Amino acid sequence: MIHRAIPANERQIEPRLAERFHKTLQQHAPPADLPFTEELAMALVSDALNWKASDLHVEPGAVDTRVRMRVDGLLHDVAVIPTVSGRHIVTYFKVLAQMDTSALARAEHGHARMDAGGMQLDLRITVVPTPNGEMLGIRLLDGLRAVLRLDEIGMSGPEQSHLRNWLAEIQGMLLVCGPVGSGKTSTLYALLRELQRQPCGIVTLEDPVESLMDGITQIEVNEKRGLTFSDAIRAMLRLDPDFLLLGEIRDPESAHTAITAAGSGQALLSTLHARDSVGAVTALRNYGVKNWEISAALEVSVAQRLLRRLCSRCRVETEITSAQRESFTTHGISAPARLWKPAGCDVCAGTGFDGRIGVFEVWRLDTEARTLIVHGADEPALRKHATATGSRTLLADALEKTAAGLTTFAELRRLGRQAQPADSAV
């Protein structure tokens, strides 16, 4: 046999995922003398889709190659394949994405389309050189992926109102902050969906376009075909829309574009790598934006993370410890009588979790916040003001969702470096 699933006793592996994957590989095991790379590649992608994986990794090691899939934000090791099969798969996807097939000395990115079971898929492909050979990462984007409504992303009613009020005013800048994979893009699309019903011009500049939306002009950066980020920005500004969506503020150029657009009567939505809502101010300062410019342009800063949502079909009650109880009360949330923990059933493939839920922190800037920014106030000062004016932290929102049985106490660890409760064991 040429493949083996990783034994379930090596941790990190969801046994049922490994078992199902093992079966797939067996079905696709080829007669010894036939090339089968394409079949195996298709099987990997279609399985990734079945499990609703967002990413598929093929990672060469010293001895063999590991296949991993990201499901609900966690990477699961699902199989080990021979190094030579791994190499063929990497080459297959490089050809599909029209990338240079010689061994690369640096990371390369590409796009490919694939027909999987009648469904057109957009694949975002990254190949990175490692000491053991090339590592392949595939981000799976379903071009017809449903765009969630604002009331479906997990945001509380009052926070949704802050965003809707901003949309109605058509001015300044709304930023969604968080690390990669924190659901920022879904939030922007949910906001665009609100705007679709209104008679206003909307243009987006994305890299790449992740969901297609009717009635909205979507521009995709494509450096290979000659549409650079700078060209695309100029094209976008010429269209003079009411709302501009810039996929990401990632350098001084995009930061200044955003500030300029927001200062010239257009409303701008974008995402930013920042730890929390007030961290957006620091990030913009680091890109060379002046305090007075930030103060004039920034209207709303949203921070968000995704936590795994407990499978409601199999979750089980668990006792709440006194330390956990204290975490709730410290944050002004009444502690629940009990908490919930994952079990595992057929519906959730034994993981105990079913999809993810957003946790949010929404900071609507007022006059005093603007004054603080102009005077160069640091993050702790801005944080203090935001909290005093009713902005709830990511942790507080996450604790409310934990109390409601939507997620677990252990998931709070995913909030990153933000202040966390002392006892975050299940």
Which residues contact Zn ion (rule: CB under 5 A)? 311, 313-314, 345, 347-348
Cβ–Cβ under 8 Å, residues 174 and 166: yes
**C-beta atoms surrounding 334 within 10 Å:** 10
Cβ at position 350, least distance to Zn ion in Å: 8
Cβ at position 399, least distance to Zn ion in Å: 23
DSSP per residue over 201-255, as a string?
-EEEEESS--S--TT-EEEE-BGGGTB-HHHHHHHHHHT--SEEEEEEE-SHHHH
Between 295 and 351, name the residue whose CB sits nearer to Zn ion.
351
Cβ at position 308, least distance to Zn ion in Å: 12
Cβ at position 56, least distance to Zn ion in Å: 23
Between 3 and 76, name the residue whose CB sits nearer to Zn ion.
76
Cβ–Cβ under 8 Å, residues 169 and 268: no
Cβ at position 311, least distance to Zn ion in Å: 3
CA separation for the pair 143, 145 (Å, rounded): 6
For residue 282 the two structure tokens come to: 């620091």
Between 70 and 315, name the residue whose CB sits nearer to Zn ion.
315
Q: Of 414, 311, 420, which Cα lies nearest the Cα of 73?
A: 414
Contacts by 248-254, CB closer than 8 A, 24 or more apart: 248/207, 248/272, 249/175, 249/283, 249/284, 249/287, 251/287, 252/287, 252/288, 253/229, 254/229
Cβ at position 344, least distance to Zn ion in Å: 6
CA separation for the pair 23, 19 (Å, rounded): 6
For residue 258 the two structure tokens come to: 């955003």
Between 201 and 344, name the residue whose CB sits nearer to Zn ion.
344
Instruction: Kindly report the length of the chain.
Output: 426
Between 51 and 166, name the residue whose CB sits nearer to Zn ion.
51
CA separation for the pair 192, 61 (Å, rounded): 43
Listing from the earlier edge strand, what are the strands of the sheet with 298-310?
A: 217-220, 202-206, 243-249, 267-272, 173-177, 298-310, 353-364
Cβ at position 313, least distance to Zn ion in Å: 5
Between 313 and 375, name the residue whose CB sits nearer to Zn ion.
313
Between 150 and 345, name the residue whose CB sits nearer to Zn ion.
345
What DSSP state is assigned to residue 4? Answer: B
**C-beta atoms surrounding 10 within 10 Å:** 10
Cβ at position 158, least distance to Zn ion in Å: 31
CA separation for the pair 136, 85 (Å, rounded): 13
Between 283 and 348, name the residue whose CB sits nearer to Zn ion.
348
Between 315 and 414, name the residue whose CB sits nearer to Zn ion.
315
Cβ at position 347, least distance to Zn ion in Å: 5
Residue nearest to Zn ion (CB): 311
Cβ at position 18, least distance to Zn ion in Å: 17
Between 311 and 394, name the residue whose CB sits nearer to Zn ion.
311
**C-beta atoms surrounding 389 within 10 Å:** 13
Q: Which amino acid is at 110?
A: G
Q: Which amino acid is at 356?
A: R
